[in-house]
Amino acid sequence: MAKPLILVCNDDGITSRGIRKLVNVVKNLGEVVVVAPDSPQSGMGHAITVGDTLRLTKNDLFGDIEAYECSGTPADCIKLAKHYVLKGKKIDLIVSGVNHGSNSSISVLYSGTMSAAIEGAIEGVPSIGFSLCDFDPSADMDHVDNYIEKVVTEALKNGLPKGIALNVNFPVKQKEPIKGIKMCRQANANWEEDFDERKDPYGRKYFWMVGNFVNHDKGEDNDEWALANNYVSIVPCQFDMTAHHAIPHLNEAWDI
């Protein structure tokens, strides 16, 4: 029986510790191919390369696992993987990450990690993005292995609804073990930004974005609550951004 084909991507770049962690776990669950950015692409969202070159280079970073580094964005990597590297082959699952930093709540919109997974869902492939709520590049990830394996195994065995990608976030490693997994909704939270005005060595003005993450959500069924209480959070995400509930209101209220 043929092994399932698993495509691995990320947004922190092909040399990050997070993608090595993900490859090391899923290589035991199927045939793995890696296509990832050649440099960090955090905060890229669902950007794609238009009107510029894309370069794809084979990489031996993962030993005998077929791997490529791409000059483009995470979404570019998924497109190139499906339509060039693995053209004509059935991809059974796309996994992205493990991201260095949380992609819970509103951060899912800015995330290159999750955009790779969403691009997979657009292409009709079951897809999962994994993130650790610790931005330290050398953060301890030893507590995530079993949960990655469990989520990937379930996805391979039972599939995902059409057009859905899973946003999986892991809490920071604590003294106590993770309590379990929670299926969640996205928390009502946002970033409140400010721009610090500075000057470069030549006296020219530039800006540095700063700000704080503010959670307005008091519920116990959302991803922020789950992570704060030492659970793994899973939020099913979709690329159809239609606000279906708003259509009747607009049809009634607007004179068009």
Which residues contribute to the annotated binding site for a divalent metal cation?
A: 11-12, 42, 99
49 and 77 Cβ atoms separated by less than 8 Å: no
* 45 Rama sector, left if φ>0, alpha if ψ -120 to 50, beta otherwise: left
Q: Give me the helices (H) in 81-207, please.
A: 112-122, 145-158
**Binding-site residues from annotation:** 11-12, 42, 99
d(CA 204, CA 200) in angstroms, rounded, equals 5
- Measured between alpha carbons, how far is residue 122 from residues 46, 115, 189, 250 in Å? 12, 10, 26, 28
d(CA 225, CA 219) in angstroms, rounded, equals 7
d(CA 219, CA 8) in angstroms, rounded, equals 33
